[in-house]
Amino acid sequence: MFTERDFETLEQAARLILDVIERHRIHEENAVERRSLFALVENTDTGKVIPFPVKKEKRNTKESILHFTEQEIKKMPKKFQKLFKTQKAVAHIRLKNGKYYEIRVTINGEAIAASSKDLEKAKEKFMEKLYMPAAIRNRKAPKTPTFQNFANEWLENVSKPYVKQITYEDYARLLKNHIYPAFGDKEIDKIDSMDIQKFLNDKGANRTTGKLFTLLGTIFTYATPKWLPYSPMHHVKKPFFLSKEKQPLTKEEEIAFINRLFETDSPYKYTFIVILYTGLRRSELKSVSIDENFVTVQSAKQRMGHPDKFRKIPISPMLRLYMPIGDIPQVRDDTLSAVFKELCPGHTLHELRHTFNVRARTAGIPKPLVEFWLGHKPSRDDVNELHYMHYDEEYQLEEIKKFEYKYPVENAESLIKPTL
């Protein structure tokens, strides 16, 4: 049975053991560092593995205590002045990779740090950090987004609510098919002017490249100044593109085209005839309504959120030849363009609209009125000549009578398929 003296002896022994442990306690990081000083090698004589000291590599940093002058301490917030005066807070400075001065201190568990290539600048930034609220001082900088992530956000939140659906879809297509394969995975601030210039140069001088140039400029401008100090597009040159001059159909081509429509019994024959003799845009066809004297259409050139605008084009003697107008089927714009190319090689669908413009002006119809029918914004000179809003229907019906001409082909009327 243990006596009281035995318990005292055991207690003394336990205290001795704890004292030894405390004196020899090694922090885990120090233990790892100490173990790294030795390599395990095999003794060739005994076959035993023994620790062998190795040369410790020098760190690529030099660290020391940074002593602030009395004047520098006075510039600190009051709550920090006493800590640095009494050395309860000690700042350390190190030269990282021989390039950057980093000043850091830990106060009440909070790490405060600032760095710069210039020592005095590093001190200034450190002082600024001391004045910052802790919540802002410790806030981590947001991760720079990739171009694709930023562009997707721009597309949904900036573009989609304010542009027409067809414009939104065009932007999305350009991004998906052209821009994302080149820049999608790159952080937006890592794309420079030279990258963009090479990208556009490789695309060649064409209409699509012009659209890409404009779209990239808009997105990069919106990324400043949060993610970029300035847009890299400022130094990018737009590839020169000389668009093909629009050519109206000659009257010989016109009658050949109309005959081909009826010979092939194209389902789009009345669609093309309406465009030819009214100058409508292909995107406006879905809103067409036709009565005895006018073709009414919703204008395609208007901004999102603005009231719908409608315009009327009087039915010309040339269009009246085909009255009543048959079905105008709804079809994708690109499909309609492809069909037209097959029926009228050497011309684009938009040139039917240009043909109407040329025929009307040649017939002697005033330019401001023709521009109104086409849905163009009037120039200042046109407004001064006669404001397009003052055109009444009676005047328009009288002017459209001039839109009548003979084909330079013998018995041309008999060649046109519908009975005249």
Domain boundaries, the chain: 25-57, 61-137, 147-235, 251-415
CATH topology of 147-235 equal to that of 251-415?
no
Average pLDDT over every residue of 133-149: 83
pLDDT at 47: 54
CATH 3.40.190.10 describes domain 147-235: no
Indicate if the pLDDT at residue 415 is higher than 50.
no
What is the rounded distance in angstroms from the CA atom of residue 384 to the CA atom of residue 259? 42
Give the number of C-alpha atoms closer than 13 A to the C-alpha of residue 248, restricted to the C-beta side. 17
pLDDT digits (tens, 9 = 90+) for 158-180: 999 988 888 899 999 999 999 99
The pLDDT-based confidence of 398 (bands split at 50, 70, 90) is: very high
User: Would the pLDDT of 123 be above 70?
Assistant: yes
Condensed to tens digits (0 to 9), the pLDDT of residues 351-369 reads 999 999 999 999 999 999 9
Residue pLDDT, tens place only, 228-283: 989 999 999 988 766 677 889 999 999 899 989 988 888 888 999 999 999 998 88
Q: What is the pTM of this model?
A: 0.54
CB-based contacts of 81, cutoff 8 Å, min separation 6: 73, 74
**How much is the mean pLDDT over the chain?**
81
Give phi and psi for 106, each to the nearest 5: -115, 120
Give 304-349 pLDDT, tens digit per residue. Answer: 666 778 889 999 999 998 888 767 777 776 788 899 999 999 899 9
3-state secondary structure of 210: helix
pLDDT in tens, 37-93: 444 444 445 555 445 444 444 445 556 888 888 888 999 999 899 898 888 888 999
Q: How confident is the model at residue 23 (pLDDT cuts 50, 70, 90)?
A: low
**Residue 277: per-residue pLDDT:** 95
CATH architecture of 251-415: Orthogonal Bundle (1.10)
